[in-house]
Copies of this chain bind each other. A is one copy, B any other.
Amino acid sequence: MSSAAPIRVGVLGARGKVGQAICAAVDAATDLDLVATVDQGDPMSSFVDAETQVVVDFTHPDVVMDNLEFLVGHGIHAVVGTTGFDEQRLDTVRSWLAATPDTGVLIAPNFAIGAVLSMRFAEQAARFFDSVEVIELHHPNKADAPSGTAYRTAQLIAKAREKAGVGPSPDATTAEFDGARGAEVDGVRVHSIRLAGLVAHQEVLLGTLGETLTIRHDSLDRTSFAPGVLLGVREIAARPGLTVGLDPFLDL
């Protein structure tokens, strides 16, 4: 896009499945240079030696805090997909960042841009429609129903409708087979389909007099986090401090 020098990128957890996919994605981007990769047993100093500007961390809750302390301490930006952050951990990261105010850390539970956008759009649209329901569809090996994303989506929808003073979706059902109308999450109906051949999919259906709006997200393979990670890498230098969730980077 620009003719600026490529961003110097490092990857932590580089030999893991996700790490390898990120290395490949960074390699394929002409505006990014993969200058250092680190996995268990490798020295963190490689990042400093390679003058790394941004490090992507998809590692493990046990090591991610040490990683961040090192990176922030050396003024290296971090884009983090590792899980396990509670408010206490986030406060610790904030305290480290206070010492180097130009450094940025992005911690996000979901880097799939399509998933993040569909949640946001569902939330924005929710108050304009009489009815809203969520259908999530996954491979049959999934243990929980509904999915975490569907659960979170329903919560966001419910909160947006409550804030706008919108009542519950109309429903005249008087004779129901057990479970036919799905699960209720904060008053929003959620339906979980499990089907061989599927990966991870979600539909938010919104309806009012004479029209419906459907927001559908399909994850067809596990590389769907890559574009969101690259977006984080490209933008992090312009957003110092701690950011939680990819949303603020999307400037919607």
Contact = CB atoms under 8 A, between A and B. Distances in A.
Interface residues of A, number: 82
Contact of A227 (B128, B133, B146, B171): B128
A227 B252 CA distance: 25
A212 B218 contact: yes
Contact of A133 (B179, B194, B206): B194
B211 A194 contact: no
Interface string A182-204: 11110001111111111100000
Given A177-B146, A193-B135, A220 B208 contact: no
Q: In the complex this chain forms, how many copies of it are found?
A: 4
Given A191-B135, A192-B180, A199 B220 contact: yes
B179 A213 contact: no
Contacts of A135: 135, 191, 193
Contact of A222 (B174, B184, B210): B210
B176 A145 contact: yes
Interface of A: 1-2, 25, 112-115, 117-118, 121, 124-125, 128-133, 135, 137, 140-146, 165, 169-185, 189-199, 205-227, 231, 250, 252
